Amino acid sequence: MAGTPTLAVVLDGLSTAGLSTGCRHGVPWYVAHLGGSLLAALADLDRPLSEGFADALERVAAMHPNCDLSDPGTPSATVAILRHKYGVLEHLVLADSPIVFDGPEDYNVISDLRVDDVLPDLRAEVESHQTHTPGHREALQRFVLAQRQLRNAPGGYWVAAAHPDAAQHALTGTTSMKGVRSAAVMSDGVSRLVTEYGMATWSDVFATLQTGGPRKLIEAVREVEATDPTGLRWPRYKSGDDATVAYCQW
């Protein structure tokens, strides 16, 4: 996560499932450098988010030219960006890290779920196993290997990786600040408390953020996950996913 008084950026590195990536740096390195490059590229409020995003992708790719950036498993991440600009909130979302707006009457969720439409049979195979078992690990590796062939490709889904073309496939838009009381930019490791576990509503999420901040919300996610450590109740890829949230108020 990175931010300024006008900008919030949440990146969630994609799991490698223990497979090679063609890069000696790794996913944490990629996420850290992409976050910094995004802050620099989007400091100019007149620059479109997608243009700044494409520039940041190019900058990071240039930082490790000796790695195999053509490898389908090259380090990658989901992206969620919210920027305050002249009384308007601009958003950019790529893959499943959502932005949620708290409006006067309801909640507006911006999320890119194209990844959920690919390889449903392999996804179901992963979810048929309890986490931390050999069967789960093997099924997850098969799933990730197949996913990589559909990543940033027509008919597949899009994430931040080595090429700037991904920026053109992000969901972008604007929302007037007059209709928004606050907003949350988060990884899916947080949003699943509502979308997958069904253990909270968006109203609950924003009430927790208002009274306890991001830390309290993440603690709530971990408490729920601790009741189902092997994924019997909520089948999933891992017991607990990375959880990040930026809570924005004006």
Dig out the tokens for 92 from the structure. 């950019």
Alpha carbons 210 and 206: distance in angstroms, whole number: 6
Q: Which residue has the tokens 């830390």?
A: 215
First-to-final CA distance of the chain: 19
- Mean residue pLDDT across the chain: 96
Average pLDDT over residues 219-235: 96
pLDDT at position 165 is: 96
pLDDT at position 237 is: 85
Q: What is the CATH number of the domain that holds 99?
A: 3.60.40.10
- Domains in the chain, number: 1
pLDDT band for position 185 (50/70/90)? very high
Which tens digits make up the pLDDT trace of 113-165? 999 999 999 999 999 999 999 999 999 999 999 999 999 998 899 999 999 99
Query: Which H or E element spans position 4?
Result: strand 2-4
Range of the domain at 183: 2-249
pLDDT at position 105 is: 84
Q: Is residue 234's pLDDT more than 90?
A: yes
Dig out the tokens for 128 from the structure. 């048929």
Q: What pTM was computed for the model?
A: 0.95
pLDDT at position 104 is: 84
Average pLDDT over residues 28-57: 97
Q: Is residue 198's pLDDT more than 90?
A: yes
Looking at residue 196, the DSSP 8-state letter turns out to be: T
pLDDT band for position 34 (50/70/90)? very high
Dig out the tokens for 17 from the structure. 């499932």
Average pLDDT over residues 6-10: 97
Q: Are 173 and 89 in contact (CB under 8 A)?
A: no
Exposure letters 24-50 (e unless 16+ CB within 10 A, then b): eeebebbbebbbebbbebbeeeeeebb
Q: Is residue 250's pLDDT more than 90?
A: no
Which tens digits make up the pLDDT trace of 43-66? 999 999 999 999 999 999 999 999
Which tens digits make up the pLDDT trace of 59-102? 999 999 999 999 999 999 999 999 999 899 999 999 999 999 99
